[in-house]
């Protein structure tokens, strides 16, 4: 176990101004607090926080973080309190320890809803100080290194949590070495056979290739040195999990992988990166499509490097990373490489303002306030954690970083939520492109917008970024709520008018408490969705009113002829024989103003006497008065709405109707039927055919027509055709 002076010496190597007394005090306090506690391995428990602190010294972190690592289990597992730690060390260190205590209680591999909520809490715990995350990652790394001592039933659960949450978080923070070790340790536990298989094959490959890595290192070093470039070349084989993931993604065998080895070229200056690249590309052929410049366009976690693949010595495919030592430090330590030291208490600005990794973390945390459900937040966060990136530009040159397979819709929402909500088209590299097209690296994207546009709900299944998906859901919910609120207002207004009262929003506002709603829009939306009865609203506004009993009573009975000459008799509750323009809800067709749809079988057209049936959560379904389907709602008078046509003559639109045509079974009969409908300016939306006999064919046709007169004209012309035996309208 590391001694007290050894820990201090590790910190002093990179921070000569370290507060030795603070570190000594924390060491002694933690050792005494944990006392005789033991780990599952039998080692003293204090060895664990000490190893966590040692990992953080490798990341060159400040005194406060090292102290928090030593104390991170004291509040949870000993008699120590937050107040005591504040007093003995500092409130800043106390806050770090308390944040770590909260994280320790979280279960991140529970069922989805709970997992999502716990992931929220994890990110909120690191919102104020990202050092909480750095200590937690070091804590998880040491726990994974000693996982063999954990009970069998718990190991896979811890490994899965590490692979799903902590390894991707380390990657997003730019801490690639830690991410790779966490992935390998998890992979070894979760897929031990695959892990051992890859290890065995790597060992066999190393024996077969002999000195291949060292010979490539020498040849690269010599070629670069000849151009007077100071550089260090290091080769290594890829990690087992990285190899397995590539095999899975590309569905290839181990023997088919040509990039098992990777080489890193470290130079002194930025310009040396490109000079070394020129040497490599001059000496060995480039593999097309494998060059990436992450120096001019860094990754979101601040990673900068040149990537290329060449066919090197011995016709061996060689992956190369070229970067400066400063870039290498950020690539290795990520967000921890931004640590600064300003005073003895370690109160430093841990992160520079231009840290993209921290900016990503802040944006993710901001989404906590926007997500409407834990599941949506989990979906967004995992999307952000796992996707690779593509770099695109606005016409003004602003860089937009998106996941692979992103679309112009994702791009629009990345620019601004308002741009995404109003997007109607896109130009990619100056050419009009579909909003669903996949963007490529270097694309210049211009989004075309329209003020009246709202995003279609179908976009949600197209986009790949969590931000776009969340914004589309919000906009869709807002649009649907506005529809229901508009419908509900009309229902309330007409219910009040039918009761012989005067509608007043002031009176309704004063009745909100009686209706258990916070706003007028809440009331309207509840009525529009069918969650609240309109007569309850009238009674809340006018308590003296006796109710709608007389209005809900049957207003008439009707006999309606069916297709085969049968008749049907049913009551029409609360519906007048002629709709009153003041109380009937106007119907203009399917639009965004009201949640309206038409009877699924038969439809309705202007000229029909119509009624509306309110379905909770779905809006109004419009039926022609002669529809036999209305008898299904005879015992639910509260769902019947008086509606009327309000057709705009300046903006004609077609309405759905269904007809049944029985025609002779001969060549050309379908063509004649379609010709009649087309010549009459009808539109066939759907057609189903079946043969009743060898001589006749039955066609069920969904037609779009302007009104009842238009429909009757089509039916008359069809009946005039010799091939047509009969035509009837379906009144579903």
Interacting residues of 280 by C-beta distance below 8 A, sequence separation 6+? 220, 223, 224, 265, 308, 310, 320, 322
Q: 72, 52 in Cβ contact below 8 A?
A: yes
Quickly count: other Cβ atoms within 10 Å of residue 695's Cβ: 10
Structure tokens at 646: 């309000």
**Calculated CA dihedral for residues 168, 169, 175, 181, nearest 10 degrees:** -50
Q: 30, 22 in Cβ contact below 8 A?
A: no
How many Cα atoms occupy the beta-carbon half-sphere of 572 within 13 Å? 25
Q: 385, 169 in Cβ contact below 8 A?
A: yes
Phi-psi region of 314 (alpha: psi -120 to 50; beta: other; left: phi over 0): left
Q: 75, 85 in Cβ contact below 8 A?
A: yes
Q: 180, 241 in Cβ contact below 8 A?
A: yes
Catalytic residue among 77, 86, 268, 438: 77
Q: What is the DSSP string of 209-231?
A: HTTHHHHHHHHHHHHHHTTT--E
Q: 393, 441 in Cβ contact below 8 A?
A: no
Structure tokens at 179: 């991410």
Q: Of 571, 578, 576, 620, whose CA–CA distance to 599 is shortest?
A: 620
Q: 264, 208 in Cβ contact below 8 A?
A: no
CA 303 to CA 331: how far, in whole Å?
A: 6
Interacting residues of 686 by C-beta distance below 8 A, sequence separation 6+? 701, 702
How many Cα atoms occupy the beta-carbon half-sphere of 537 within 13 Å? 34
Q: Is 76 a catalytic residue?
A: yes
Quickly count: other Cβ atoms within 10 Å of residue 451's Cβ: 5
CA 131 to CA 100: how far, in whole Å?
A: 10
Q: Looking at residue 532, what DSSP letter applies?
A: S
Is 401 exposed, middle or buried (CB count within 10 Å of its CB: 0-12, 13-18, 19+)? middle
- Name residue, tokens 């027509």: 705
Catalytic residue among 76, 219, 259, 332: 76
CA 487 to CA 14: how far, in whole Å?
A: 68
CA 638 to CA 382: how far, in whole Å?
A: 45
Q: Is 77 a catalytic residue?
A: yes
Interstrand relation of 585-587 and 640-645 (parallel, antiparallel or unpaired): parallel
CA 438 to CA 431: how far, in whole Å?
A: 14
Q: Which residues are catalytic?
A: 76-77
């Amino acid at each position: 176990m590391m001694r007290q002076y050894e820990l201090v010496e590790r910190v002093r190597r990179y921070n000569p101004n370290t507060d030795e007394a603070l570190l000594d005090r924390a060491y002694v306090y933690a050792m005494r607090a944990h006392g005789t506690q033991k780990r599952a391995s039998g080692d003293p428990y204090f060895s664990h926080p000490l190893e966590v602190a040692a990992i953080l010294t490798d990341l060159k972190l400040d005194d406060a973080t090292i102290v928090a690592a030593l104390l991170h289990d004291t509040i949870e597992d000993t008699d120590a309190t937050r107040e005591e730690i504040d007093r003995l060390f500092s409130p800043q260190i106390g806050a770090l320890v308390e944040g770590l205590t909260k994280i320790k209680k979280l279960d991140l591999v529970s069922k989805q809803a709970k997992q999502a909520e716990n992931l929220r809490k994890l990110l909120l715990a690191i919102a104020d100080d990202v050092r909480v995350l750095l200590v937690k990652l070091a804590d998880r790394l040491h726990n994974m290194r000693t996982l063999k001592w954990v009970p069998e039933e718990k190991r896979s659960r811890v490994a899965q949590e590490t692979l799903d949450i902590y390894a991707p978080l380390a990657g997003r923070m730019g801490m690639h070495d830690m991410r790779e070790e966490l992935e390998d340790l998890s992979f070894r536990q979760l897929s031990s056979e695959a892990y051992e298989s890859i290890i065995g094959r790597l060992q066999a490959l190393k024996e077969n290739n002999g000195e291949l890595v060292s010979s490539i290192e020498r040849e690269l070093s010599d070629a670069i040195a000849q151009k007077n470039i100071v550089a260090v070349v290091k080769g290594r084989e890829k990690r087992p999990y990285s190899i397995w993931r590539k095999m899975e993604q590309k569905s290839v065998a181990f023997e088919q992988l040509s990039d098992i080895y990777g080489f890193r070229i470290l130079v002194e200056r930025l310009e040396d990166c490109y000079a070394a690249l020129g040497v490599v590309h001059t000496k060995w052929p480039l593999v097309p499509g494998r060059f990436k410049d992450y120096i001019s366009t860094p990754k979101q976690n601040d990673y900068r490097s040149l990537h290329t693949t060449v066919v090197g010595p011995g016709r061996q495919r060689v992956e190369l990373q070229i970067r400066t030592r400063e870039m290498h430090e950020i690539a290795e330590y990520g967000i921890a490489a931004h640590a600064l030291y300003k005073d003895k208490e370690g109160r430093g600005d841990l992160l520079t303002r231009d840290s993209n990794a921290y900016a990503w973390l802040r944006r993710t945390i901001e989404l906590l306030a926007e997500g409407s459900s834990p599941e949506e937040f989990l979906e967004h966060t995992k999307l952000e954690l796992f996707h690779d990136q593509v770099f695109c530009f606005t016409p003004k040159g602003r860089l937009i970083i998106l996941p692979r397979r992103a679309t112009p819709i994702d791009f629009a929402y990345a620019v601004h939520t308002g741009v995404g909500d109003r997007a109607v088209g896109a130009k990619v590299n100056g050419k009009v492109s579909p909003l669903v097209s996949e963007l490529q690296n270097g694309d210049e994207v211009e989004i075309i917008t329209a003020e009246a546009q709202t995003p279609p709900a179908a976009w949600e299944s197209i986009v790949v970024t969590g931000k776009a998906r969340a914004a589309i859901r919000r906009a869709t919910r807002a649009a649907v709520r506005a529809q229901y609120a508009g419908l509900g207002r009309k229902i309330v207004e007409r219910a009040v008018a039918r009761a012989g009262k005067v509608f007043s929003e002031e009176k309704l506002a004063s009745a909100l408490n009686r209706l258990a709603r916070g706003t007028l829009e809440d009331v309207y939306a509840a009525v529009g969705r069918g969650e609240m009865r309109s007569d309850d609203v009238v009674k809340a506004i006018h308590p003296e009113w006796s109710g709608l009993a007389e209005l809900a009573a049957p207003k008439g009975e009707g006999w309606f002829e069916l297709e085969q000459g049968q008749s049907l008799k049913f009551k029409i509750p609360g519906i007048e024989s002629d709709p009153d323009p003041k109380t009937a809800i106007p119907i203009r067709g399917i639009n965004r103003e009201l949640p309206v749809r038409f009877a699924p079988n038969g439809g309705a057209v202007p000229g029909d006497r119509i009624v509306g049936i309110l379905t909770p959560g779905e809006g109004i379904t419009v039926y022609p008065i002669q529809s036999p389907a209305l008898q299904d709602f005879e015992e639910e008078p509260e769902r019947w709405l008086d509606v009327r046509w309000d057709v705009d003559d300046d903006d004609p639109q077609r309405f759905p109707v269904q007809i049944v045509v029985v025609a002779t079974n001969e060549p050309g009969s379908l063509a004649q039927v379609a010709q009649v409908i087309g010549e009459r300016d009808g539109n066939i939306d759907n057609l189903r055919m079946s043969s009743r006999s060898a001589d006749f064919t039955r066609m069920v046709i969904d037609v779009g027509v302007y009104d009842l007169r238009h429909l009757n004209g089509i039916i008359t012309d069809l009946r005039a055709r010799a091939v047509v035996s009969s035509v009837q309208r379906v009144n579903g």
